[in-house]
Structure 1
């Protein structure tokens, strides 16, 4: 027998055996065994990891450069002209409210006060005399009224003379420290002459600008971090929002905010630049681990677990915070998201949390519902 004939016989036998296998398989239950294996594969549990969905407030951080000014500041000028007869101003000196800083010649004003006081005393004596005469009927009511009017006029004249005398002194309007001055005794000054600058540096106001988007989210009293822009070593100082501007700048689309920082040790000076850090809480968002985020043709999504069933939940990323992400999505209280084993997830997959698993990262069994395609 030739080799070709032998090969042909073997090929025909192999075809007959294969046909018998497929024909007799259902009889011996082979097809049922295959179906059972396929069903077992579908229902086989797969360990995945889930994490609780938390709800946190969005944090908006703004950083800006701010410029400091004294809590109170005044450029001191005399209210009248004259020659300087006394100077109590010393650069850097600490003064109290009402303390005399500078004195002008005041001889004429002192005499005017003395004259007004004499006239007032004379008018009062005349009024008292006419009052006694009126009670006895020796004087008229009209004469007494004129005397009383003269007393009132003399009081006004005395007060006016006293104001003119007071104007010859420059007083501190509030407590603070005096800046540099070039005024000496003998100088002639007028209302345009600047004597010195008085600063209340017990606290500073830091002026900075923030974007228009922050309007309505910043309130007086909110905390703010302040650090010297010069890079001076030291911790970030804690300040508070003092006030906010009432207008939005049309060119820069920003508005002005001022923060107050205590300065009890007088370490900071007006004019210094500060690095301002302002954290503002926004609306509440769902927070999940970053590894739970998946991407598809329609954007980002997560596999959310609620009532023991997985669902594909579209989300949009709002903000990243450390290893978590704040999301916009239709989350509910008590939801969990899958963080590991994501490739096993399908819409409608049932899950079962294994005993002893923690609430934050709990391994679960997942099996495909027989009705899920």
Structure 2
């Protein structure tokens, strides 16, 4: 019984040894098949390398102000007798907005006119007499000086009278006012604000990394926060300094507001596409990753070649890359798993079937 058990153990060990020898035997058939495959031409689908500019999307918050905006003050002190505007009304340049009491100034104008008329009569009489020799030249010169002085005093009186009214310096929309007839005001009193909002200036801050890439004439897009209203604007000013705290510099752009959609003081979303350097661009599906980073396959002299790349930017379904590859060269987009370095390869360009090479 013991010998039978030993015989059985020997048979088992012999079987295991035979199996191990069989598994370790080289598979010449598979090796021959592999060598045959390596001699075959690889076929794949490719696309040509293009070019595109690096695109930086700037987004910021901007604040609007009127192209022209003033705060109105009276030039002189006095009692208000009339307020000739309502809030948010459109006023024309030169329109009288507010009147101060002007009784004394009107009397001064009337008196100055009388003085001018009297000086004119005296000058005319002496001028006639001087022609006959009955008046001296000195008397005539004094009359001429008196006439000129009277005219100047009249002009001064008229200027003083004009200062008793506040006029619109330009056409625009006037704001709220707390002034009422009967109020006494002086040159420090604020009457109202006046805005020419036919166009608006949008001010926004830009990171210093983009200095030199934004210039007057650049186009921006602005949109309001509370609805879908949007408009295009043109950069008009770029500041000469960078804020040392925020590391930004201010930019102003002008937008048309002829339809009066927007108001000074509104905030806006500001967007701007800034074009940078031009790079080779390839389809995103052409890029693979390995231990040394990103790469792609191209066909050169009829053979597959792996090219290492550095990704610059993704744009939709394409990628801007930095690589030793030229625009127009094919990059493999289908059949990537069949690519082997140095293997003969033939590709068909999408929409343009072309044999890249046959390895001969």
Normalised-by-shorter TM-score class:
0.7 to 0.9
Shift of 1:345: 3.6
Q: Which one of the candidate residues 190, 193, 211 is aligned to 2:207?
A: 211
Q: 1:163 aligns with which of 129, 141, 159?
A: 159
Distance in structure 1 (CA, Å) of the matches to 2:45 and 2:321: 20
For residue 351 of structure 2, what is the aligned residue in structure 1?
Answer: 358
| In the alignment, structure 1 residue 312 sits paired with structure 2 residue 298 | no
Q: 1:329 aligns with which of 304, 323, 326?
A: 323
Count of aligned residue pairs for this structure pair: 333
Write out per-residue CA displacement over residues 48-100 of structure 1, whole angstroms, 9 at most, x where no aligned residue: 12111111112111111222222322211111100011110212222111110
In 2, are the aligned partners of 1:305 and 1:336 still within 8 Å (CA)? yes
Cα offset, 1:139, TM superposition: 5.1
Q: Which structure 2 residue ranges, 5 or more long, are not aligned?
A: 1-27
Is 1:108 matched with 2:101?
Answer: no
Tell me by how many angstroms 1:221 deviates: 3.3
Give the corresponding residue for 2:44: 48
Shift of 1:146: 4.3
> For the Cα contact (< 8 Å) 2:198–2:260, is it kept in 1?
yes
Partners of 1:305 and 1:108 in 2: CA distance: 97
Aligned-residue RMSD, C-alpha: 3.2
Say whether 1:264 aligns with 2:265.
no
Q: Note closer, same or farther for the CA distance 1:116–1:312 as it changes in structure 2 (3 Å cut).
A: farther
Q: Matches of 2:236 and 2:310 in 1, distance apart?
A: 36
Whole-Å separation in 1 of the counterparts to 2:199 and 2:266:
13
In structure 1, C-alpha distance between the alignment counterparts of 2:322 and 2:140, rounded to whole Å: 87
Report the TM-score, using the length of structure 2 for normalisation: 0.80
Does the aligned pair in 1 maintain the 2:302–2:357 contact within 8 Å?
A: no
Whole-Å Cα distance in 1 between the matches of residues 343 and 103 of structure 2?
A: 101
Q: After superposition, what is the alpha-carbon deviation per residue over 1:78-128, rounded to whole angstroms, capped at 9, x for unaligned?
A: 111000111102122221111101000111112222233333344444444
After TM superposition, list the pairs within 5 Å mapping 1:39-188 onto structure 2.
Answer: 40-133=36-129, 142-188=138-184
Tell me the secondary structure at the aligned position of residue 154 of structure 2.
helix
**Which 5+ residue runs of structure 1 have no aligned equivalent?**
1-30
Deviating more after overlay: 130-139 vs 92-101: 130-139
Aligned with residue 294 of structure 2, among 295, 300, 315: 300
